[in-house]
Structure 1
Amino acid sequence: MSPVSLLLNILWIALGGFWMAAGWLLAAVIMAITIVGLPWARASFNIAAYTLFPFGQMAVPREALTGREDVGTGPLGLLGNILWFIFAGWWLALGHLITAVMLAVTIIGIPFAWAHLKLAGIALWPIGKVIVPA
């Protein structure tokens, strides 16, 4: 991780990133407890780590990375994303959106607001995404 990414990640945690990562972890734990939600729990844990340190990383579709379709990028992934959206995705995206609006009020907060908006998009449709270094 570059020094700039490290500095931005430290500021990110102080400006709301920690709470949103905690929200992702809560969603992951709830999904894991239900047993049926284990596939969503795995995605939530991965994105919780990404939410904690978003600078220097990016989310990409797994199909674009590997060049082939798998369970998470095919029809079952679509169904999983629809269920995720209904049960957890909308409130995580709303949390990111509210935090982005509050941060965008200041000039210093604009890069962090932009990161929250990217995370809001991932919150709506996380299955089939992979976190890779930028």
Structure 2
Amino acid sequence: MRTLLNLIWLVFAGFWLAVGYAVAGVICCILIVTIPFGIASFRMANYVLWPFGREVVRRPDAGAGSTIGNIIWFIVAGWWLVIEHIVTAIPLFITIIGIPMGWANLKLIPISLTPFGREIVETHRPFAS
């Protein structure tokens, strides 16, 4: 089931979201100071390609550097991404087949809001949050 959902997601939303995150990652990696933000963007691009069957968990070893990075990320990009994911999830909930895609879009909010100090792990639950 999650493979089918991932394939549908990839065709209709995942590819374009991943391209957007990858372009942002390339732009961030141009400057040396913003390389950590570029790496976070590449991790998110990987996650949005195939979100079903994976979930975001907080890393126990995340420290003050992650907090500072998350504050900067939130101010510069995080809240824009959250608004984007919410706005695109609302129309997906209108159709029956779009409901899992809407949940996947909402599932992306925690990592797009605060990507530092989190990691993406595999799970056996297709709708893991």
User: Equivalent residues in 2 for 1:111-126 (5 A)?
Assistant: 111-126=100-115
Letter of the aligned partner of 2:111 in structure 1? I
Structure 1: how far apart are the matches of 2:23 and 2:80?
12
Alignment partner of 1:102 is 2:91: yes
1:30-89 deviation line (CA, Å, top 9, x unaligned)? 2111211111211211111011100111111121xxxxx2xxx11111110010111121
Q: Specify the alignment match of 1:66 in structure 2.
A: none
Report % sequence identity.
Answer: 49
Match of 2:120, SS?
A: strand
Q: Specify the alignment match of 2:73 in structure 1.
A: 84
TM-score calculated relative to the size of structure 2: 0.88
1:79-133 deviation line (CA, Å, top 9, x unaligned)? 1001011112122222211211121111111111011011022211110111111
Checking the alignment, whether the CA contact within 8 Å between 1:81 and 1:125 is kept in structure 2 is: yes
Checking the alignment, whether the CA contact within 8 Å between 1:100 and 1:112 is kept in structure 2 is: yes
Checking the alignment, whether the CA contact within 8 Å between 1:59 and 1:130 is kept in structure 2 is: yes
User: Equivalent residues in 2 for 1:15-94 (5 A)?
Assistant: 15-63=12-60, 69=61, 73-94=62-83
TM-score calculated relative to the size of structure 1: 0.85
Structure 2: how far apart are the matches of 1:29 and 1:88?
15
Residue-pair matches, total: 123
Structure 1: how far apart are the matches of 2:21 and 2:118?
15
Structure 1: how far apart are the matches of 2:11 and 2:84?
16
Structure 1, unmatched stretches of 5+, are 64-68
Match of 1:58, SS?
A: strand
List structure 1 segments (4+ residues) > 6 angstroms apart after TM superposition.
none
